[in-house]
Structure 1
Amino acid sequence: MSQQPLRLHLPDFVDERRMTRYQFRVVTLCGLVMFIDGFDTQAISYMAPHIADEWGLSQSALGPIFSAALVGLMVGYLALSPLSDRFGHKRLIIAATAVFGVTTLAALWADNVTELVILRFVTGMGLGAAAPSAVALTGEFSPKRLRATFVLAIYCGFSVGFVVAGLAAGWLIEDHGWRSLLWVGAAAPLLLIPFLIRGLPESPVFMIQRNLAPQRIYAIFRRIDAGLPTSLPEQSEPVFSVEENDSGKRTALSSLFTRKWLWGTLLLWFVFMINLAEFYALQSWLPTIMTDLDYSMNVVVAATTLTTVGGIAAAFVTGPSMDRLGPYRTLGVLYVVGFGCLALTGIAFHAPLWVLLTANFFAGCCVSGGQKSLIALAAVFYPAQMRSTGVGWALGIGRVGGILGPIMVGAALTMNWSPSTVFYAMSVPMLAAGLTVALLGMRYGRSQQGPAQADSAPDTEAPSLTRGSGPALDPGSSI
């Protein structure tokens, strides 16, 4: 009697088990990639004044240096993140990390604006390629009940990188010059690469779909569950299956525009544009507005920092809430609260300082925290096969809002709008974002998952991609 093959199905295999040290290691490595991403993105803000002094540049000449990496980020999100569909998340993360490490190192020898702008653009492309794959791998190795929490956790690494960049700048630049910050920004990713090569696994979904060696795939399953047999019986190849995205042989990018996913994708893009418009408008103009209102520099720095700290603090609440109460409900409520907090900030400009700082903190909770939570929502919304591309394109399209937000606030101030009126106006899109998330929840949130689950009939098996021989696998079982 021949022995029945071992049957393993994703995502049920991960969803039905406790997190292991191996999975925590994967999440930690992805978080470190995001941390370095945040550090490198923010460090240029602290170097720029010193670059201007050394090279004799006007303040307006710094604009292209600031924007080059942001444009590169958009290109990375839109053009490079879909390459994970062809090469896998691990390869893309390592290659992207190498790119932004090498280009940051090369910036040490730049001696004019043109060279620095080109290097910052390529650096941004690398940063934009790495982040969606890090989010996707984190989602794939996290059980459904904790997925939003862990995606939020690694994205907090991005914000912590912002904070550490400021601390490092204060410690290094005065004594060692602005290039010292580039040394740190280049060394960190290059030193991380050997750990990524050794410790970061490839996406098992990618490996199954690519029909790679079953023993390699099985080794990852066994790292998650040590109770599996140490070795497989001879001539008994395991049967692996993954949940199909109902898009047939389409690429992940083209799947975003199928009838099933298009409506939800467009709504997500709309919310991303609103949230990134609010985030960059707040970060760009709050220091200027408060300076014009004659607040001291210490107060301006404290108020701006509190918006970032608020975003990190919010993750400790919204992550577990998204996993327990549902991502749509949690994020919708957060945006509605953000509507009130931004309006309160407008009022607080004429209130005691502690009221203003408190309002800044809670505005950061909703705007910066909302952005992290929105990325977690996208990671839950899309299935594993589409996750990196879906998140990458949402971030890339959202950059349109990130560009327009500061421009619109600048135009409003030019028309002599008061700071209070500007913040009243900024609060309205947050309400629109909350209502849009509510629409998403009504359409796709019946199971607190993406449309792949919400649209499935309860008595119908989800289609699967299968590697190996044997009868079709019941998607409700893991082995």
Structure 2
Amino acid sequence: MSLDPSTLRLPGFVDERRVSRFQYAVISLCGLVMFLDGFDTQAISYMAPHIAKEWGLPTAVLGPIFSSALVGLMIGYLVLSPLSDRFGHKRVIVVAVAGFAVCTLAAVWSAGVTELVVLRFLTGLGLGAAAPSCVAMTGEFSPKRLRATFVLAIYCGFSLGFVVAGLVAGWLIPVHGWRSVFWVGAIAPLVLLPLLLRFLPESPVFMLRRGQDPQRVHRIFRRIDPTLAPTAAPRFDVAGEDSGKRAALSSLFTRDRVLGTALLWFVFAINLAEFYALQSWLPTILQGLDYDMSVVVTTTTLTTVGGIAAAFITGPAMDRIGAYRALGVFYLAGAVFVAATGIAFGAPLWVLMIANFLAGCAISGGQKSLIALAAVFYPASMRSTGVGWALGIGRIGGILGPIIIGAALSAEWSAGAVFYAMAVPVLAAGLAVLLLDRRYGGRAAERAHEPATAEA
């Protein structure tokens, strides 16, 4: 049955129009939240050696400090992020940002390991709840032709947060101590909160699903397209949202999808284990090799810059030669880069920096591309469930990675041996993605996963 021409359709309304300044503002606010997420996640890596020195802690104790926020992230992804369906993306983002700001502020006065671990866990809960809602909000306000680009852009905001964390730590810690970085990590989200409350809209799909005033939704549409005429009784249609419910978790394990889901979870766990192990321990490894703080910050930052640079290569490659094949080959090359970093610890500094940049391309860039791969694999009806659970399960790797590397260093493994060992899981990830390509790859298969109606 055809709809009245005056009915406003989602996502068609967004897909058929040029991106407005209002949409750019929404996406930018989501990017700022992701930036703060990245800053808070990485800053602890630069503070940890100074915390250990001040409190007289052995190296192995740093592992739980690194991983406590990652446990919170995992629970936030799996348990708290679905609350956006009940309360709205905006509310979840605002409450989550306020929560991790307060917990970071409380960490300024932490006086022991237990207290700090608990606060980092609570901070991780807020970070884990905010990120999926930001991705969902970005997707809803992005036209289909640019959706992947905009989601990738806000994830680059996450990586930029890693970079800035290093710069801020290198500037503040030598002069004001490690607690000064917590001050910055708390004040920045508190400053952002009024902007989120004032300028971030609620999800139109959520508002329609909850039967809220149609005029409020229509006003959001008019901010996207100012030429839209006001109406006393606006009507809307949301494609693919009839049930108003998320795809069930069991839908990820149907007969044609169970292998793909299992392989994706495996690769997510590997990539996040590598990512957080690298970001958590590289500053400590470099300081142990007697590099000064400026070199530590620069070298660690290059791994994140590499991830951002890789996004400009992997995105077009995934579009042109196929998402699975491009990422599989990228991981195989990444295994070589990670192993080369182990060799580079005995080489001149400029060689070590180049090696860290390339390792960052593989690990940090691979993570962004892997999220895009999951979005290709799962159809729109279950995309948020599929990607969210892949990220959540992947956090198990993120939790274990820093702990395993900490144990290896405590067992007096050399820096080179650690990176040789880290190259093996990257190789396994590449082979797993190529197996995905064999089973699900090719443009025809990718199109087959797309629903008949566009995603809201």
What residue in structure 1 maps to residue 230 of structure 2? 231
- 2-side partners of 1:118 and 1:14: how far apart? 42
Structure 2 residue matching 1:243: 3-state secondary structure: coil
Once the two structures are TM-superposed, the CA of residue 332 in structure 1 deviates from its matched residue by 2.8
Q: Counterpart of 1:223 in structure 2: which amino acid?
A: R
What residue in structure 1 maps to residue 429 of structure 2? 433
What residue in structure 2 maps to residue 283 of structure 1? 279
- Taking the TM superposition and a 5 Å limit, the aligned residue runs for 1:153-172 are 153-172=153-172
Q: Where does the alignment leave 5 or more consecutive residues of structure 2 unmatched?
A: none
What residue in structure 2 maps to residue 219 of structure 1? 219
- 1-side partners of 2:50 and 2:193: how far apart? 30
Once the two structures are TM-superposed, the CA of residue 30 in structure 1 deviates from its matched residue by 0.6
User: In the superposition, relative to structure 1, how do residues 278 and 201 fare at CA in structure 2: closer, same or farther (>3 Å)?
Assistant: same
User: In the superposition, relative to structure 1, how do residues 289 and 158 fare at CA in structure 2: closer, same or farther (>3 Å)?
Assistant: same
- 1-side partners of 2:209 and 2:444: how far apart? 26
What residue in structure 1 maps to residue 79 of structure 2? 79
Cα contact 1:149–1:320 (8 A) shared by 2? no
What residue in structure 2 maps to residue 468 of structure 1? none
What residue in structure 2 maps to residue 340 of structure 1? 336
User: In the superposition, relative to structure 1, how do residues 194 and 323 fare at CA in structure 2: closer, same or farther (>3 Å)?
Assistant: farther
Once the two structures are TM-superposed, the CA of residue 395 in structure 1 deviates from its matched residue by 1.9
CA RMSD of aligned residues (A): 3.5
Q: Where does the alignment leave 5 or more consecutive residues of structure 1 unmatched?
A: 463-474
Structure 1 residue matching 2:142: 3-state secondary structure: coil
User: In the superposition, relative to structure 1, how do residues 77 and 389 fare at CA in structure 2: closer, same or farther (>3 Å)?
Assistant: same
Once the two structures are TM-superposed, the CA of residue 157 in structure 1 deviates from its matched residue by 1.5
- Taking the TM superposition and a 5 Å limit, the aligned residue runs for 1:127-206 are 127-206=127-206
Equivalent of residue 454 in structure 1, options 448, 452, 455: 448
**Partner deviation per Cα, 1:421-442 (whole Å, 9 max, x = no partner):** 6544433433332343344456
Which moves more between the two structures, 371-380 or 265-274? 371-380
**Partner deviation per Cα, 1:220-274 (whole Å, 9 max, x = no partner):** 333323333x212x55x413122359xx675345365452654433332111111
Structure 1 residue matching 2:190: 3-state secondary structure: helix
Equivalent of residue 355 in structure 2, options 359, 384, 389: 359
- Is residue 249 of structure 2 the alignment partner of residue 254 of structure 1? yes
- Taking the TM superposition and a 5 Å limit, the aligned residue runs for 1:18-417 are 18-52=18-52, 55=55, 59-228=59-228, 230-232=229-231, 234=232, 237-243=234-240, 251-252=246-247, 254=249, 256-257=251-252, 259=254, 262-286=258-282, 299-322=295-318, 326-349=322-345, 352-382=348-378, 386-409=382-405
What residue in structure 2 maps to residue 467 of structure 1? none
Bigger Rg, structure 1 or 2 = 1
Which moves more between the two structures, 428-437 or 194-203? 428-437
User: In the superposition, relative to structure 1, how do residues 193 and 391 fare at CA in structure 2: closer, same or farther (>3 Å)?
Assistant: farther
User: In the superposition, relative to structure 1, how do residues 348 and 40 fare at CA in structure 2: closer, same or farther (>3 Å)?
Assistant: closer
Cα contact 1:10–1:243 (8 A) shared by 2? no
- 1-side partners of 2:199 and 2:37: how far apart? 19
What residue in structure 2 maps to residue 469 of structure 1? none
- 2-side partners of 1:178 and 1:353: how far apart? 26
Cα contact 1:206–1:385 (8 A) shared by 2? no
Once the two structures are TM-superposed, the CA of residue 455 in structure 1 deviates from its matched residue by 4.2
- 2-side partners of 1:404 and 1:422: how far apart? 15
- 1-side partners of 2:266 and 2:180: how far apart? 39
Which moves more between the two structures, 126-135 or 407-416? 407-416
**Partner deviation per Cα, 1:280-302 (whole Å, 9 max, x = no partner):** 33334545666677767665554
What residue in structure 2 maps to residue 471 of structure 1? none
Cα contact 1:94–1:193 (8 A) shared by 2? yes
- The TM-score with structure 1 as length reference comes to 0.81
Structure 2 residue matching 1:333: 3-state secondary structure: helix
Structure 1 residue matching 2:429: 3-state secondary structure: helix
Cα contact 1:252–1:385 (8 A) shared by 2? yes
- The TM-score with structure 2 as length reference comes to 0.85
**Partner deviation per Cα, 1:148-197 (whole Å, 9 max, x = no partner):** 22222211222222222222233334444433322222121122112112
Once the two structures are TM-superposed, the CA of residue 408 in structure 1 deviates from its matched residue by 4.7
Once the two structures are TM-superposed, the CA of residue 383 in structure 1 deviates from its matched residue by 5.5
Once the two structures are TM-superposed, the CA of residue 97 in structure 1 deviates from its matched residue by 0.5
User: In the superposition, relative to structure 1, how do residues 21 and 261 fare at CA in structure 2: closer, same or farther (>3 Å)?
Assistant: farther
User: In the superposition, relative to structure 1, how do residues 217 and 381 fare at CA in structure 2: closer, same or farther (>3 Å)?
Assistant: farther
**Partner deviation per Cα, 1:74-124 (whole Å, 9 max, x = no partner):** 211121112122222111111101111122223334344333322221111
Structure 2 residue matching 1:270: 3-state secondary structure: helix
Once the two structures are TM-superposed, the CA of residue 25 in structure 1 deviates from its matched residue by 0.9
- 1-side partners of 2:83 and 2:380: how far apart? 14
- 1-side partners of 2:173 and 2:409: how far apart? 33
| Count of matched residue positions in the alignment of Structure 1 and Structure 2 | 452
